[in-house]
Structure 1
Amino acid sequence: MTSPVQLEDAVQLEIAVQDAAGARIAFASGADRVELCQALAETGGLTPSAGTVDAVLEASGGAERVAVLVRPRPGGFVYDPAEVALVAADVREIVRRGAGGVVVGALDAEGRIDSEAIRRWIDAAQGAEVTYHRAIDTLSDPVAVIDELAELGIRRVLTSGGATRSIDGLQNIAALVGRSAGRVQIMPGGGVRVGDIGDFVAAGVDAVHLSARRPSGDQAPSGPGGGAAGFDTTDPEIVAAARAALTGAIARR
């Protein structure tokens, strides 16, 4: 096992996982933190079940090592009052169960940060870390909202720099790092490959986010309810390679 970075190091490795098995693999292979979600491949990630949260927390060895995505449905990020209330309730319950952070995002009908929803969710988090997710990548000028997110109390931003693959948004990610000036952590995510990590570290990011997935190989029929056969699992070799690339990039800075 390759050791994760120490807390004083600037850049951490976050792996997106969907279950306790994935969390155990991620941590054993060198991850510093996991983001827990469900239906990642199908929807981009949704709120996981309470039982899954509990299992991942038990596998993590520390609540600060687990951030939980709270997203009530697939699709866009404009939420009605009932959905905002649902996310607040889920955030409150996930933090009560022991998670060290939550991952949320909302926009208003004009395509701006929904500051009212974000304030409500930060309040519901009761001091746990709050990450603003890739809803920021739908904005025409994501750099311009960093000041607002910092003032709201957002701890971290997950972003591809507005590109399909984060490496193609590197210039915007570097601009986000500069605008943030340490007030909000900037974490590239979205199509990240191991070979991209050195460029992100050179740009000054605070963390790197990968899904590190591979097909399970299970081709059993999904049943009468439909859906694709098989499922994704966390690949220890990808995580370990990402850990090694990150450690090497930090050493070269």
Structure 2
Amino acid sequence: MSLLEVCVDDVAGLNAAIQGGADRIELCSSLAIGGLTPSAGLMAEASHHSVPVVALIRPRSGGFLYSAAEERVMLRDIELAAELGLAGVAIGALTREGSLDLAMLGRLARRAEGLQLTLHRAFDLVRDQTTALEEAISLGFHRILSSGGAPSAPAGAAQLASLVEQSRSRIQILAGSGINSENVAELLFSTGVQEVHASCRTLELEPAPELLAFGFAGPSCRATSAMVVRALKLCILEHGQNGNRPPFHLPTHRVSRREGE
């Protein structure tokens, strides 16, 4: 049975994802820039729910080459996630040469002992994913979030399939980016992935003019939709019930052409 992880960056999104049937939550802030570490308050709020929650540990936007000071921030944020009772953390760090920073990741992983470990999409920027996958296994990661090194998981489907084959069930490949109810069945069939990651967000009404004028909001607003989560989850369930056969047509559970991430 395939699993749906929904990434959210606020309390409303957390509640919508759970209401829609998410199997796991990736908790963060600032989804508009790929996600950053969530606040202590948001982590505490998420810990009250029964759905497993993985906190993204990313101290800033941009690349994944981190300083010693940024590593200290990540170490403390990992400790906080553990103290608050979250199920896991998603981490990643690279070297200047474009490989996994094994030394830093080893220290972060040791600090996260007892938690589920996700290698986040820093993996998509490594130069040699075949080597990086083996390194992730050696470091004790439980899963790798990836779009196959492409801007979206459907575009990287061939590489995702290769990663699944290489993994031989030693680590889960969590497919993410650009996944929605219209393409998930074909993606599951063509890649063999068992876990899917999506934001399930839709465009909301434009914020009030005064919020825009003062810089308190951006020109567009996206929010997690329980209906979109439910539609995606239903497509995943239908795929499993069909014995993983390729669909004759795309699922008809369309909520919006703008849905998903």
TM-score, structure 1 length as denominator? 0.90
* 1:240 corresponding residue in structure 2: 230
The structural deviation recorded for 1:199 is 2.4
Name the structure with the higher helix share. Answer: 1
Q: Is residue 19–residue 55 contact of structure 1 (8 Å, CA) maintained in 2?
A: no
Aligned-pair identity in percent equals 35
* 1:13 corresponding residue in structure 2: 4
Q: Is residue 103–residue 130 contact of structure 1 (8 Å, CA) maintained in 2?
A: yes
Question: Could you list the per-position Cα deviations for residues 162-219 of structure 1 after superposition, in whole angstroms to 9, with x for gaps in the alignment?
Answer: 1111101000000010111111110110111212211232222121011111233151
1:61 to 50, 58, 64: 50
Counterpart Cα distance in 2 of 1:226 and 1:67 = 28
Counterpart Cα distance in 1 of 2:34 and 2:240 = 29
The structural deviation recorded for 1:227 is 4.9
* 2:67 corresponding residue in structure 1: 80
* 1:117 corresponding residue in structure 2: 104
The structural deviation recorded for 1:57 is 1.9
Counterpart Cα distance in 2 of 1:184 and 1:31 = 21
4+ aligned runs moved over 4 Å, structure 1? none
Counterpart Cα distance in 2 of 1:201 and 1:100 = 25
Counterpart Cα distance in 1 of 2:79 and 2:170 = 24
* 1:215 corresponding residue in structure 2: 203
- The aligned amino acid for 1:145 is A
* 2:22 corresponding residue in structure 1: 31
Q: Is residue 222–residue 230 contact of structure 1 (8 Å, CA) maintained in 2?
A: no
1:193 to 170, 173, 180: 180
The structural deviation recorded for 1:31 is 0.9
Counterpart Cα distance in 2 of 1:117 and 1:140 = 18
Q: Is residue 79–residue 112 contact of structure 2 (8 Å, CA) maintained in 1?
A: yes
* 2:256 corresponding residue in structure 1: none
SS across alignment from 2:202: strand
Counterpart Cα distance in 2 of 1:50 and 1:140 = 34
Aligned pair 1:250/2:240, yes or no?
yes
Structure 2: gaps spanning 5 or more residues: 245-261
Question: Could you list the per-position Cα deviations for residues 141-175 of structure 1 after superposition, in whole angstroms to 9, with x for gaps in the alignment?
Answer: 31331111001001110001111111010000000
- Quick check: 77-86 or 138-147, which moved more? 138-147
- How well do the aligned residues superpose, as a CA RMSD in angstroms? 1.5
